[in-house]
Structures are given as C-alpha cells and as structure tokens.
Amino acid sequence: MQGWIDSLIRGWGQDPATWPWTQIVYVAFMGLFAFIVINFAAITAGIFSWAERRVAARMQSRVGPNRVGPGGFLQWVADAVKLLTKEDLVPAEADNFLFRIAPYFMMVGFACVFVALPFSHRLVIADMNIGIFFILAVTALIVVGIIMSGWSSNSKWSLFGAIRSAAQIISYEIPAGMALMIPVLLAGTLSTQGIIRAQGGWPWQWFVFDNPATFAAFFIYFISALAEGNRTPFDLPEAESELVSGYNTEYSGMRFSYFFLVEWGNMWVMSALASTMFLGGWQIPGVSAAQLDAMTGGRAVAFELLSLAIFAGKTLFWVFVVMWLRWTLPRIRVDQMMNMCWKYLVPVSFAAVIFVAGWMLVVRAAPAVGTVTHWIMFLAAGVLPAAFFINRVARNIHDTGDKFDFTSNW
C-alpha cells in the first residue's frame, strides 16, 4: 500500500521523499486502513455467525434464524445490539484490569493477521517479506488473551479451559507452522504475495498438487487450523458439557461475544491462508501475474475485481467446509486430540518438509519430473475424488430426494 500512497502523493505534485507532510499522510492512511480492517473482520465474523446457523439448520432439516431481515440475514445485527445493551459483569474476586482487557488481546491478534493477508493482485495492506512469520507471530496474542481470561476470572472452570486451550493451540502450532513452511520452501519467500505469484491460475499449477508431501501438508495445516481456532471436533477449551463453557464462563455482554467474534472471524483467516499458501490465491487462470502488473486503466480495474472474486470464492468455499465439519463430526476427547498432534501430525509434517527439500533438488535436476507429478497429483488427488464426491451426492439426491423447502423456510 505504501507504493499506492506514494503514487497518490506524486499525483498531488509532491515528492514523497522530500515532502514534509509525507509521514503524516502515512499515519492517516494507516488509521484508515486499520478502521477498514477492523470493520471488515467484525462484519465478516457477524455474517458468518448467521451463515453457520443457516447451514446448521439446513443440515439438520430445521429452519434457523429467519425473522430479522430477508432470510434472517440481519439476525447478527440484532444479536450485536442485544449484547451491547446487556450488563457487563466483572466477578468480585476477579483481577479487574486483566479480566477487562483479555478479550481485546484476542481481537488485536485476530485483526493484525489481516495486515499481511492478500485479497487480490494489489489489495494487501502490507506485502511484507516476512508475511508468514508475521502472521504466525501475531496469532500468538490469541493464546495470551485466552490464558489471561481464564486466569483473571478466578474460576476453576475458566482456568481449566485456559490451560487446555494453551496446550491445544501451542501444540497444533507446530504442525501448522511446519506445513506452512513447505509452500515457503517452494516459493523461496515468506511474502504472501510472493507465494501466490509462485503458483499459477490453473489448479494443476497450485502447490497443493505439486507433490505428495504438499498435498499431505495442506490437510495437516487445515486440521491444525481447526484445532487452533477451537473448531469442532477440537472445540475442547469451550466444552459446555465439561467446563461450563471454559475460559469465557465468567464473561457477559459484549466482552463475551468478542471470544466468538474471533472464532467466527478466524474461519476467514484459516481459509484465506489455505487459499494463499496452497490453492493459488487470487491467480486468474490463463493470466499471469506479470500480465496483471502491466495492465492499466479500466482493464486493470476489471481484472483486479476478478482476482478479488476468485480469492473470495476460494476462501468462502473453505469457510463452508469448516461449518460443514462442525455439524458433521462429533467432538473428540482431549487425549485423542493430543495424541493425533504429537504422534501423527508433528512427525508427518517434519517428514514432509524433509521430503520437499529433497524433491526440490530432484526437480531442479529434471524439471520434467515436476511437470509430470503436477498432472498426476491433479488427476489422482483432485479430479478423481471430486468426480466420486459429485457422483455420490447425485446418487443420494436421486435415491432420497431433496425435500428442503427453500420458499417458506427462508
């Protein structure tokens, strides 16, 4: 974004390097971008709270929210108004200061991720050369907020939930981080935009189909992201049946909603990061990044919007998958969760990194091997499973029918 601001300053007839007001303009635009990011994150999380309830209702053959607004779409606004007007209670024995600021730690860690996440070919707040490192670092604030909320509540249920969450999130950060290092190795950069540019627009050019290890790494990352985001089947830190809601038990009103705002908004973060690292991000099929760089005028705007639509489409698809999993799979036990992380995902993620490092040497010596493997992986791991799934869904609909009433229930 700095380059865009510099171009704007030059349009005003000033040189950004010598103009005395350049830093003030930078600060003003930083505040504007921060305002936009916070609102986008909050509004997206609110809309996802409505969408998840509609998806759950659809999967369980019930209605879901359908009273406030068309299709119940404004239900999340009504919920926000209700929570803002509810009393904000602080337990008498709680640490007043830490109890109050804990939800904001989570909000800051969640919102800072959007700084380095690309939305389109040019739409990114800061294309940092350490983008992935930055994302992994700021998400640690979410863990701090959860532990702080559990400890400051002075409640055994909250403390148990916070400790469980710390063990879960810190454990699953290891396989998630190792899985994300594989696209970094292939692209040779930590920049999120650079990783997208290293891929292509067609599916067989994505990193997920580069070799067997990258295909495994995609699922390792996705499973780990579900665990880090406390999503089913890993929603153990907020297990109502065991911990009376866990680390957020003592919270009420809007502070209570911040925890779930981060959880729903994190669905966009994990899905956008998966699209960026493994699925080509905003890349347009048949149009290279260099061609997009060279475009100007209305054509550039049109293709910019197209790249934004492609990225949003990929991200929203995986958001739907996350919702789908929540209402399909049962919650697992905490020992099963930790066993899966340390006995399976961690060793496999380390082995995948070593495999990719060796694979890159092989492909450098014989580039044809990489091209052939791309096509084999795309056909075997992409086309065939998709064809099987579509055939199975079509057969189920043919056999049982789709009896959902899209008219009266909406």
Binned average pLDDT, 10 residues per bin, the chain of 410 residues = 73 75 81 83 89 88 85 89 87 87 86 88 86 88 85 86 85 92 92 92 91 94 89 75 74 85 88 93 89 85 91 94 89 87 94 93 90 91 91 83 57
Residue 70 counted as domain residue: no
Alpha helix positions (H), 86-238:
96-116, 131-138, 140-152, 156-187, 192-197, 212-228
**Rounded CA separation 219/381 (Å):** 12
pLDDT of residue 243: 64
**Rounded CA separation 61/218 (Å):** 32
Residue 64 counted as domain residue: no
Residue 130 counted as domain residue: yes
Full domain range(s) for residue 284: 86-389
- 45, 264 in Cβ contact below 8 A? yes
Q: What's the Cα-to-Cα distance from 167 to each of 143, 335, 337, rounded to whole Å?
A: 10, 11, 10
Residue 94 counted as domain residue: yes
330: DSSP letter? P
pLDDT of residue 361: 93
Considering the entire predicted model, what is its pTM?
A: 0.89
Residue 20 counted as domain residue: no
**Rounded CA separation 134/191 (Å):** 10
Number of structural domains in the chain = 1
**Rounded CA separation 230/159 (Å):** 16
Question: φ and ψ at 284, to 5 degrees?
Answer: -95, 125
pLDDT of residue 179: 94
pLDDT of residue 241: 65
Residue 159 counted as domain residue: yes
pLDDT of residue 24: 82
**Rounded CA separation 311/305 (Å):** 10
* Nearest residue to 125 (alpha-carbon basis) of 139, 138, 111: 111
CB-based burial label for 12 (10 Å; 0-12, 13-18, 19+):
exposed
**Rounded CA separation 281/289 (Å):** 11
**Rounded CA separation 62/186 (Å):** 46
Residue 271 counted as domain residue: yes
pLDDT of residue 305: 92
pLDDT of residue 194: 92
Give 355's contacts (C-beta < 8 A, 6+ positions apart): 211, 212, 213
Q: Which residue has the tokens 């981080």?
A: 177
| 287: helix, strand or coil | strand
Would you give the end-to-end CA distance of the chain in angstroms? Answer: 41
Residue 41 counted as domain residue: no
Give 353's contacts (C-beta < 8 A, 6+ positions apart): 178, 181, 182, 185, 213
332: DSSP letter? P
